[in-house]
Structure 1
Amino acid sequence: MATSKHLALTLSLLLSGSVLASPTFTPTTQLPDGEWIDLSEDLCDVAQQTHSYLAQGNAYDPAAIHGGTTVWLNTPTERIQETLAYICEVVHEDQQMGRTSRLTDPDFIAEHFELLRWSPDQQRASQLSDDKPLLQRLPSDRLLLTKYYVRLTNGQPQQTPETPHALYGLPFDEAHLSLDEADAKRDHITRYRYGKQTIVANESSKDQAAHMRNLAPPLIWLSRDDLEGALLQGTAVVNEPSGDRRYFNVHRNNGIAYDRTQRPEQQQRYWYFKEVQGVLGYGKDANYKIPILPKVTVAGDIFQLGLGRLILLRTEEQGQPVFRLTVLADTGGAFHDNLYQLDWLSGYYRDWDDYYQANRHISDYADAWLLLKKQ
Structure 2
Amino acid sequence: MFQKNIYLKIIFLLLLFIWRVNYCFSDSVLFQKISDFSCFGGYSFVTNYDDLASVSQSAIKFLQANKERLLSEGKIGSKLFKDDQSYLNKTLDSLERLSVLTRYSKNGEIDWKILEENFNFIHWSGDQNAALKHKVKLPDGSIRLTKYLVHMSSGSYYKTLKYSCALYQVPYDERDLTDLEIKNKKNDLIRLKYTKQEIINGALEKQDVKNKVAALVWITREDLEEAILQGTIVVKMPDGTIRSFNVHKSNEISYDRNITDKTEQKRYWFFREVNGIKGFGDSKKIDIKPNVCFAGDVKNIGLGMIIAIKYKNAVTQKDDIRIGILADTGGAFDENIYQLDFFTGTFENRDLFKSYIKQFPDFVEAYILFSK
Instruction: Name the structure 2 match of 1:15.
Output: none
CA deviation digits over 1:282-302, x for unaligned, max 9?
A: 01x2x2111111110100000
Flag the 1:91–1:69 CA change in 2: closer, same or farther, 3 A. closer
CA distance in 1, matches of 2:267, 2:32: 36
CA distance in 1, matches of 2:53, 2:297: 21
Which 10-residue stretch deviates more, 246-255 or 75-84?
75-84
Alpha-carbon distance, 1:211 to partner: 5.7
Flag the 1:88–1:71 CA change in 2: closer, same or farther, 3 A. closer
CA distance in 1, matches of 2:208, 2:149: 33
Quick one: which of 86, 99, 102 aligns to 1:91?
102
TM-score (ref. length: structure 2): 0.85
Alpha-carbon distance, 1:198 to partner: 1.2
Matched, 1:232 2:239: no
Alpha-carbon distance, 1:57 to partner: 5.2
CA distance in 1, matches of 2:101, 2:80: 30
Flag the 1:23–1:279 CA change in 2: closer, same or farther, 3 A. farther
Alpha-carbon distance, 1:305 to partner: 1.7
Unaligned runs of 5+ in 1: 1-20, 130-134
CA distance in 2, matches of 1:34, 1:246: 39
Instruction: Name the structure 1 match of 2:327.
Output: 329
Flag the 1:233–1:273 CA change in 2: closer, same or farther, 3 A. same
Which 10-residue stretch deviates more, 119-128 or 171-180?
171-180
CA distance in 2, matches of 1:200, 1:261: 22
Quick one: which of 318, 335, 338 aligns to 1:340?
338
8 Å CA contact retained: 1:64, 1:306: no
Instruction: Name the structure 2 match of 1:165.
Output: 165
Alpha-carbon distance, 1:88 to partner: 1.4
Unaligned runs of 5+ in 2: 1-26
| 1:250 alignment partner AA | V
Quick one: which of 68, 86, 89 aligns to 1:78?
89
CA deviation digits over 1:274-317, x for unaligned, max 9?
A: 1111111001x2x2111111110100000112210000011221
Quick one: which of 216, 234, 245 aligns to 2:213?
216
Instruction: Name the structure 2 match of 1:197.
Output: 197
CA distance in 2, matches of 1:365, 1:226: 28
CA deviation digits over 1:78-116, x for unaligned, max 9?
A: 11101101111112223xxxx23453x333222221000
| 2:264 alignment partner AA | Q
Which of 1 and 2 has greater Rg?
2
Quick one: which of 102, 110, 115 aligns to 1:109?
115
Quick one: which of 97, 120, 123 aligns to 2:126?
120
Quick one: which of 363, 368, 372 aligns to 1:365?
363
Alpha-carbon distance, 1:23 to partner: 5.8
Matched, 1:308 2:304: yes
Instruction: Name the structure 2 match of 1:256.
Output: 253
Quick one: which of 37, 40, 48 aligns to 1:39?
48
Task: Count the aligned residue pairs.
Answer: 337
CA distance in 2, matches of 1:211, 1:226: 27
| 1:280 alignment partner AA | K
CA distance in 1, matches of 2:140, 2:48: 29
CA distance in 2, matches of 1:115, 1:343: 20
Alpha-carbon distance, 1:176 to partner: 2.1
Indicate the percent of aligned positions where both proteins have the same amino acid.
32
CA distance in 2, matches of 1:345, 1:310: 14
8 Å CA contact retained: 1:249, 1:280: yes
8 Å CA contact retained: 1:295, 1:345: yes
8 Å CA contact retained: 1:300, 1:341: yes
CA distance in 2, matches of 1:162, 1:58: 43
Matched, 1:55 2:64: yes
8 Å CA contact retained: 2:76, 2:300: no
CA distance in 2, matches of 1:90, 1:162: 49
| 1:342 alignment partner AA | L
8 Å CA contact retained: 1:144, 1:364: yes
CA distance in 1, matches of 2:302, 2:309: 18
Quick one: which of 254, 267, 270 aligns to 1:269?
267
CA distance in 2, matches of 1:41, 1:302: 24
Alpha-carbon distance, 1:373 to partner: 1.3
CA distance in 2, matches of 1:303, 1:178: 24
Instruction: Name the structure 1 match of 2:185.
Output: 185
CA distance in 2, matches of 1:22, 1:202: 51
